[in-house]
Amino acid sequence: MTASTTEPGAAAHREVELQKLDDVVIRFAGDSGDGMQLTGTQFTNTSALVGNDLATFPDFPAEIRAPAGTVAGVSAFQVRIADYDIHTPGDASDVLVAMNPASLKVSLRDLKPNGVLIVNADEFDERNVKKAGYETNPLEDGSLDQWRVFKVAITKLTHEALKDTGLDAKSQERCKNFFALGMIYWLFSRPLDATVQWLQEKFAKKPELADANLRVLKAGWNYCDINELFQVRYEVEPAKLPAGTYRNVVGNTALALGFVAASRRAKLPLFQGAYPITPASEVLHELSHLRRYGVTVYQAEDEIAAMAATVGAAYGGSLAVTVTSGPGMALKMEAIGLAIMTELPMVIVDVQRGGPSTGLPTKTEQADLFQAVFGRNSEGPVPVLAASSPADCFDCAVEACRIALKYMTPVILLSDGYLAFGSEPWRLPRPEDLPDLRVAHHTDPATFQPYRRDPVTLARPWAVPGTPGLEHRIGGLEKADGSGHVSYDALNHEKMVRLRAEKVERIVADVPDAVVEGAPEGRLLIVSWGSTAGATKGALRVARREGYDVSRVHLRWLNPFPKNFGEILSRFDTILVPEMNLGQLAFLIRGRYLREVVSFPKVQGKPYYRSEVLKKIRDILGEK
Amino acid sequence: MSAETAVLTKKDFQSSQEVKWCPGCGDYSILSAVQSVFPELGIPRERFVVVSGIGCSSRFPYYMNTFGFHSIHGRAPAIATGLKMTRPELEVWVVTGDGDGLAIGGNHMIHTLRRNVGLKIMLFNNRIYGLTKGQASPTSELGKNTKSSPLGTVDYPFNALSVAIGSGATFVARTIDVMQPHMRGVFRAAAEHQGSAFVEIYQNCIIFNDRAFAAITDKEVRDEATVLLEQGKPLVFGKEKDKGIRLNGFELEVVRFADGFGPDDCLVWDATRQDPTLAFMVAQMAPPHFPTPIGVLRDVARPSFEQIVAEQMQREIDTKGAGNLEQLFREGDVWTVNEDGSIS
């Protein structure tokens, strides 16, 4: 965190000083049951309403309740707020709230030197310290000397605040995250209003719980105010975001909203086939709440059925989508092949997670790119695009639907766990500014042939059951060009294989040219895709400020690539591809453009840090 | 539209495609029955959709001049569910087999039936994999010699009717490819049923499992080996109508009228019982101790899946309004950044 005033020397008992910060990262960490996601979300929403730009990174275990107090059970929520536009939730944190020894152990390595560390001292008894894997109590052994440590008896103070309420001890204990939240609100000069209102709505039927949490929230605030615990308070001013109306969205919500928007703009009912899977299930939940928008949600018996029903709904004339993650994607592939063969429009979202197999269900990865591009038996071309930020999930959902409907093809949209749960302010679009996605179902029997193609897009007609005179048969067997009758003819098969491939290639006409940020030519080009957008953009900004000859191009479309992409690559000496896999985009670029690239993989279930990309730039171009 | 539907004939449902099943295959007679029943239903042709999976039976849609979807192995009920949910006005018929519907697609089958999706499911049971040339299927008898089980199968077979009843199916019936009028009657009853209708059709595979059902279908044994389930009538069978099925305590048993029993002692068949227990017991009747039951085992009324789905959506629209995008985007906390950079 960069302070605009320098910290004065330690002076006892003085007015608390107010410092302005432009950019700060706060991490709330605790046990899975400690309510850290909720605490972080409240702080985020309040900061959004204050007008900060922000980005969040929830980081939690796959187990719903791993053994309490263990390192495996640590749940954390990182939020970065700034007075300018930012693109990542930050690398290291400036402030860490650690509710127990295990969360301290996990999160401390990412706390900046001299950072603020608030610990719930009550939880640091011998048993918990041991359970976290510490030999000695870190609060006493001097190992925390490089940080500004505030040991607060959060549990005890919470009970104290609630002693007259008659609430049982367990319910009292559950409020302790609001004590920490109250402290952080004080430290960052945040208003309590939004959280107060949220508590009143959330516990409308249990006013005693609303009251208890509110008391504890205020107790945390007052504790800081009265005890002069901190010598400084901080303020982060509103960011200068473009004018407009905003809300904070996580990627999975943005996907759901994008699909509803697309269905309205296409004037088609929306169908979602789904099967619960981390980290994609929230899209199922979100759309389940939106039935009144004409959304049909189908929770199927398995991933295969979710995909098959999506094909069935597309055949019936709906805007059909399905949302899953890697293992579910693997199960869907055969039916995606059927969608390719029958040339029906639909969108398949893969919210990627660590793999293979069950892998790291709650952690992020980008290693399904090959699966998306190549995952079918035989020649099964599918257009593939990837979202770059939580809010971009909305635009990509609309764009995926547009291409699916225009070209009569399944489209794969890649998101990942980082985008799914991460949030940022989203400027609300005006519905009328969204693309017009209307398409006509074919109705005229006189001109009807199931596989007669549009000369430009190569799309076949969408002839839905119920249309008089269009009775015809489709299916997974190879089709005769035009008539769509079953055909085993050798040359027809080759023709159809080529036509299906060409149709996907022709989508390039609808893919905007790639844009180079930085100089149009030079020594180093970073190519990013998906959620590496934020870290690479941030690194580019810093590196160029430092005078490095580096540029960046971010790819939304991975199949087909934008038509100017090869030419852009030729203008740079070195191509650097950071991605959360072992070099899948790098492989595609080499194969497609015969261009050597420097692959820069990170496969740790964690997003890239800006500093990691920056270091790589310096390694390649030399220290300045 | 009604004038047009009135003139539909069997010919209107025959497609231009040459039928390519083996000569003598039981599928021909099933196709003929369906093509006979469809024009009788008073429904415009374009509203029929036939969805199938993979296997000999699944070529069926090509021979029907309706909308048709020849899909992938086992997935027809799942594809048809997506279609029926979004287009409930369509008449969606699913064609599947014992391998397609009970092995690779078993999961979709049971869940489709428990949900009561308004699909008419015809399961052609020939107790063998035909299209892949003769491997054991989930309905092959224990110990059966096939290409994949030269020493005899080692797994117990499914009883398709029991699977359907156990899954909560609201309409369950069995018919046989050689019983043309009976088959048509069952299809008609299935067509009229709201919700899932599951029809098992014993079907002879002349190449890989010929005469699989001869012991019950041959003219000389049929009356002794089968019992017809007829609504409101006692379960009486035999060439001379001299035997019946009665409920003795918790068990079914065959009684001979020569031993002093009569039709009044026999179970009177009622497929509309809500409790599926008796239907399940009858489904379990099999040679050598029992005749094979033929007819409608279960036919109970229950709202269909697509109906519940549509009602739920309508209720939401009625109580909360159809909603517009502007409102949707603004759900939750919003703030406005003004042109001068101030926040409101």
Mean of the pLDDT values across residues A221-232?
90
Q: What is the pLDDT of residue B342?
A: 83
- Per-residue confidence (pLDDT) for residue B1, from 0 to 100: 43
Quick one: what percent of chain A has pLDDT higher than 90?
Answer: 93
Nearest CA in chain A to B113: A301
Question: Does the pLDDT at position A467 exceed 90?
Answer: yes
Give the closest residue to A3 by CA, choosing from A18, A30, A22. Answer: A22
Q: Is the CB of A465 less than 8 angstroms away from the CB of B83?
A: yes
Task: Decide if B89 touches A, using CB distance below 8 A.
Answer: yes
Per-window interface: B 95-134 vs A, CB < 8 A = 107-108, 111
Asked if A586 contacts A367 with a C-beta cutoff of 8 angstroms, the reply is: no
Nearest to A309 among B45, B78, B107 (CB): B78
Which residue of chain A is at minimal alpha-carbon distance from B336? A245
User: At A436, which amino acid appears?
Assistant: D
Kindly provide the residue ranges of all beta strands, DSSP E only, lying in chain B, ordered along the sequence. 48-52, 67-70, 91-97, 119-125, 171-176, 197-202, 226-229, 236-237, 243-248, 251-256, 292-299, 334-337
Task: Give B71's contacts in chain A (Cβ within 8 Å).
Answer: 308, 311, 338, 475-476
pLDDT reported for residue B341: 79
The mean pLDDT value for A104-116 works out to: 94
Domain extents in chain B: 10-212
N-to-C CA span, chain B: 59
Q: How far is CA A119 from CA A171, A600, B259, in A?
A: 21, 36, 89
d(CA A94, CA A515): 34
Q: Which residues of A touch B89 (CB under 8 A)?
A: 466
Given a cut of 50, whether residue A10 has pLDDT beyond it is no
Contacts of B108 in chain A (CB under 8 A): 301, 304-305, 308
- Taking CB atoms and an 8 Å limit, are B333 and A51 in contact across chains? no
Backbone angles phi, psi at B165, to 5 degrees: -65, -40
Return the closest-CA partner of residue A253 out of A426, A24, A54.
A426
CB atoms inside a 10 Å sphere around CB B159: 17
pLDDT for residue A557 = 98
**Scanning the structure block, which residue is given the tokens 């330690």?**
A10
- Does ipTM surpass 0.85 in this model? yes
CA distance B247 to chain A (A): 37
Compute the half-sphere exposure of residue A259: CA atoms within 13 Å on the CB side of its CA. Answer: 32
Report, as an integer, the average pLDDT of B103-124. 98
Please state, in angstroms and rounded to a whole number, the distance separating the CA atoms of residues B173 and B183. 10
What confidence tens digit (pLDDT) does each residue in A320-329 have? 999 999 999 9
The predicted-structure confidence for A137-151, as pLDDT tens digits, reads as follows 999 999 999 999 999
Do A467 and B46 lie within an 8 Å CB cutoff? Answer: yes
Name the residue among A248, A301, A468 with its Cβ closest to that of B44: A468
pLDDT over threshold 70, residue B98: yes
SS3 B298: strand
Q: How does pLDDT run across B271-309, given as a tens digit for each residue?
A: 999 999 999 999 999 999 999 999 999 999 999 999 999
Confidence of residue A231 (pLDDT cuts 50, 70, 90): confident
Shortest Cα–Cα distance, B54 to chain A (Å): 9
Out of A194, A257, A342, the one facing B333 most closely (by C-beta) is A194
Query: Residue A288 above 50 pLDDT?
Result: yes
Q: Which B positions 136-195 lie with beta carbon below 8 A of chain A?
A: none
- Looking at CA atoms only, how far is residue B329 from chain A in angstroms? 6
Chain A interface, best mutation among B314, B337, B338, B342, by max A CB count within 10 A: B337
Q: What is the pLDDT of residues B188-233, one digit of tens each?
A: 999 999 999 999 999 999 999 999 999 999 999 999 999 999 999 9
In the CATH hierarchy, which top-level class contains the domain B10-212?
alpha beta
Task: Please list, in sequence order, all residues whose beta carbon lies within 8 angstroms of the beta carbon of residue A470, skipping any fewer than 6 positions away.
Answer: A442, A443, A445, A448, A463, B46, B67
Indicate the average pLDDT of chain A. 95
Please name the member of A309, A428, A476 whose beta carbon is closest to the beta carbon of B329.
Answer: A428
pLDDT of residue A11: 37
pLDDT-based confidence at residue A4 (cuts at 50, 70, 90)? very low
Which chain B positions have a beta carbon within 8 Å of A242's beta carbon? 337
DSSP assignment letter at B290: S
Selecting from B108, B329, B331 the residue whose C-beta is nearest the C-beta of A305 gives B108
> Residue B85: which of A194, A260, A313 has the nearest Cβ?
A313
What pLDDT sits at residue B6? 56
CA distance B94 to chain A (A): 12
CB-based contacts of A104, cutoff 8 Å, min separation 6: A29, A96, A98, A117, A119, A132, A138
Record: contact B86-A316, CB cut-off 8 A = yes
CA distance B190 to chain A (A): 21
Q: pLDDT tens, A304-355? A: 999 999 999 999 999 999 999 999 999 999 999 999 999 999 999 999 999 9
**Exposure on the CB side of residue A504, measured as CA atoms within 13 A:** 26
Which among A291, A310, A428 is the nearest to B330, CB-wise?
Answer: A428
Could A294 and B313 be called an inter-chain contact, meaning their C-beta atoms sit closer than 8 Å? yes
Tokens of B184: 């048509």
For an interface test with B, give the residue of A195, A197, A201, A315 to mutate (most B CBs within 10 A).
A315
How many CB pairs (< 8 A) connect A and B?
211
What's the gap in Å between the CA of B120 and the closest CA on chain A?
16
Least confident of A173-182, A463-472, B44-53, B334-343: B334-343
Q: What is the pLDDT of residue A1?
A: 52
Q: How many CA atoms lie within 13 A of B89 on its CB side?
A: 10
pLDDT single digits (tens) B142-190: 999 999 999 999 999 999 999 999 999 999 999 999 999 999 999 999 9
- What Cα–Cα distance (Å) separates residue A95 from each residue in A79, A195, A499, B57, B208? 10, 20, 57, 67, 74
Residue of A nearest to B341 (CA): A240
Of B44, B328, B333, the CB nearest to A293: B328
Contact list, A334 vs chain B (CB under 8 Å): 72
pLDDT at B333: 82
Local confidence band at A76 (pLDDT 50, 70, 90 cut-offs):
very high
pLDDT over 70 (residue A6): no
Does the beta carbon of B333 lie under 8 angstroms from any beta carbon of chain A? yes
Calculate helix-pair angle for A392-407, A251-266, nearest 10 degrees. 40
The partner residue sitting opposite A304, judged by closest CB among B70, B78, B90, is B78
Q: Best residue in B18, B67, B314 to probe A by mutation, most A CBs within 10 Å? A: B67
Q: Which residues in chain B are closer than 8 Å to A300, comparing Cβ atoms?
A: 78, 81, 111
CB B81 to CB A467 under 8 A? no
